[in-house]
Amino acid sequence: MEKGDFKLTQKIQVLSEDTVSKIAAGEVIERPASVLKELLENAIDAGASKIRIDVENAGRGLIRVSDDGEGIPAEQCALAFERHATSKIRKLEDLDTLETMGFRGEALASIAAISEVTLTSAVRGAATGAHVEVHGGKLVSRREAPPVAGTTVSVRSLFYNTPARAKFLKSDAVEKSHLTQRVEEVALAHPGISVVYRVGGAEIIATEGKPESGAADSLAERIRGVLGKGIRKVQPLLSEHSGWKIYGMVSGADGLVASRNVQYWFINRRPFASRTAQQALYRAYAPYRSANQHPACVVFIEMPPLLYDVNSHPTKREIRFRHENDVYDMIYRAVSKLLVDSKPAVPIVKSEPEPPAPEPRPAPADLQTARETPSGYPSAGAPWTSAPQISKFPSPALASASPMDSPTLRFLGQIEKTYLVFEQTGGLVILDQHAAAERVFYERYLKELRSNTLQIQNLMLPVQIELPPSKMQKVMEHAAWLSQMGFEIQPMGKSTLLIKSMPSIFDLNAKDCDNLIHLVLDCLGDPTEAALEAAKEKIAGLACRAAVKAHQSLAPMEAIQLYKDIHLCRDGTCCPHGRPTAIRLNRNELARRFQRPGAP
């Protein structure tokens, strides 16, 4: 029997009290996306080949789902709104062989209790259909309708009678993002279903129903059709073990992103969340990722329904596996093998000679006088014999506590093109040039931001960032805030974002810009002051990209200027990531280490 055939033989019935007591979850509609999820599951279970979704006012005004499925017999349409009325199961044991998305019979009743619902449905081949209206849980209208095969459910005025619950809804863009993600999941998991999704009349997602071939290129094409190019540099995943199967697409070792928001998990085509699955994924990527990098994935798991419990959470999203360790091991081994096999081999060749050092940048104007006095500097290629002395420069209040506070300074040289060595009052200061420069650029950006003196550069060629439609909506919600941060963004199509300008202090490439947008996604899920401040700090951290790098040669004047800049920072002791910028060996410490007489 094919999936969905049972619907022709089973009618909607109210479950027994014994069964209800064991599966009831007290379905709560938290947001518009909760409504859309339930309606989409009903359409899928009805065997639909075409689904159309229309949303207005971020789901508060209207959510309409139309399908061409089997439909509901006219005499049962009103019964569908009774609590625990379902055609999916009859008894608890049916969960062990469950093939449908829904089964509790709570969804329509819960939705109708807090909105105005209209249902129109007809069974294919029937002489007439039915039209039912339920407002606030009460049946207000029931009449005949044209016999158009399929079902249309319209939900209007969501939470109109529960204003307290409506207050907890987020901004329109956040709610639209959740709605769009529910549609993305259906389009990814059910390639045979044609899906059209419109928001305010604008088409956001449109897919054609195509038979699933199982080929990796077919899956990749489906992912691109739904998510655009928001998942890049992915590798096909396939593994089978003891009747279980795991397949999909995951990031290659060089395709990690700055957000964990691009991860889609399905079990028997049902979207799910599981700490076991996520931990296995991250363990597999442990050798390849840093703290701020995350794998993107679209992963499908197929296994018998009796091996996992989908009834453990009211939303049916969080599931529990009967054999957690086996699932963990299967995911970890499959992803680890893929990463090892796809990692390019390191060529065994003679190392290339070190490239020549870049030309020193022009010195700042306030140091030009020192540059014009060459007697204190060696000629090209000569060893250092002496260095110019400079007066103690002004410092802010916090600078008095700095370990680098000294009336005189002498630059001695550079170690490994990474560490700058200075003499101070008989001691040594060793400056990490990259960490110090990061702190300087970080504080400079925040200072310009606070004083409204941020210099903006328009990009000759806007940077294109590809995102899934649901993430696009979330980012565009904060376009005005990003403009205050110095970044002008603009949508281009359904899944492409353009960065048209950025602060002049930034030196970001396309990958950095991609990371920037994913940082915004991670921080700005809710537009609270704390989230905005956290996002600002992370964006400021990206200013570090323009900092002097390790293994980069610096001219003497550049080294001195960097010392001066870090000394003027409010906190010059560490970089924005917490690494120290300098260490000091004073006169007493040097004497102690060389066991000189009089050493402390």
User: Concatenated DSSP letters for 37-65?
Assistant: HHHHHHHHHTT-SEEEEEEEGGGTSEEEE
**What does residue 135 show for φ and ψ, rounded to 5 degrees?**
-120, 125
DSSP secondary structure of 419-488: EEEEEETTEEEEEEHHHHHHHHHHHHHHHHHHTT---EEEEEEEEEEE--HHHHHHHHTTHHHHHHTT-E
Residue 11 has pLDDT above 80, yes or no: no
Sequential DSSP letters for 326-357? HHHHHHHHHHHHHHHHHSPPPP--PPPPPPPP
Buried b (16+ CB within 10 A) or exposed e, 166-189: eeebbebbbbbbbbbbbbbbbbbb
Kindly state the tokens that stand for 260.
């964990």
Estimate to the nearest angstrom the gap between the alpha carbon of 140 and the chain centroid: 44
Q: Give the Cα separation of 141 and 118 in Å (integer).
A: 9
pTM (two decimals):
0.72
Task: For residue 84, give Cα distances in angstroms to 23, 117, 151.
Answer: 10, 18, 20
- The larger pLDDT score, comparing residue 394 to residue 265, is at 265
Query: pLDDT exceeding 70 applies to what percent of the chain?
Result: 75
Asked if residue 208 lies in contact with residue 227, where contact means CB atoms within 8 angstroms, the answer is no
Reading the block at residue 226, the tokens are 């739904």
Whether the per-residue pLDDT at 393 is higher than 70: the answer is no
| In the predicted structure, residue 597 carries a pLDDT above the cut 80 | no
Q: What is the largest CA-CA distance in the chain?
A: 109
Task: Give the lowest-confidence range in 173-182, 442-451, 525-534.
Answer: 525-534
Q: Of 261-265, 401-405, 486-490, where does mean pLDDT reach its minimum? A: 401-405
Nearest to 295 by CA among 308, 277, 320, 270: 277
Q: Which of 358-362, 470-474, 529-533 has the lowest mean pLDDT?
A: 358-362
Buried b (16+ CB within 10 A) or exposed e, 459-476: eeebbebbbbbbbbbbbb
* Measured CA angle at 106 (ends 104, 108), to 5 deg: 130
Looking at 61-188, which runs of residues are DSSP E strands? 62-67, 85-86, 116-122, 129-135, 138-145, 150-156
Q: How is residue 244 annotated by DSSP?
A: E
Q: What is the pLDDT of residue 342?
A: 79
> What residues are paired with 321 via a beta bridge?
308
Instruction: Please name the helix (run of DSSP H) or strand (run of DSSP E) that holds residue 570, with its range, or none.
Output: none
Region of residue 497 (phi > 0: left; psi between -120 and 50: alpha; otherwise: beta) = beta
pLDDT of amino acid 120 = 96
Q: Could you give the CA distance from residue 495 to residue 227 in angstroms, rounded to a whole number?
A: 7
Distances (CA, A) of 43 to 49, 71, 195: 9, 9, 11
CA distance 31 to 179: 9
User: For residue 41, which of 130, 132, 103, 115 has the smallest C-alpha distance?
Assistant: 103
| CA dist., res. 26 & res. 29, Å (int) | 10
What pLDDT, in 10s, does the model give residues 16-39? 454 443 344 445 688 999 999 989
**What's the pLDDT at 10?**
59
The domains of the chain, with CATH numbers, are 1-211 (3.30.565.10), 228-341 (3.30.230.10), 388-600 (3.30.1540.20)
Q: What is the pLDDT of residue 213?
A: 62
Smallest Cα–Cα separation from 431: which of 575, 263, 305, 321?
575
Residues 306-310 have a mean pLDDT of: 82
Euclidean distance between CA atoms 41 and 111, whole angstroms: 14
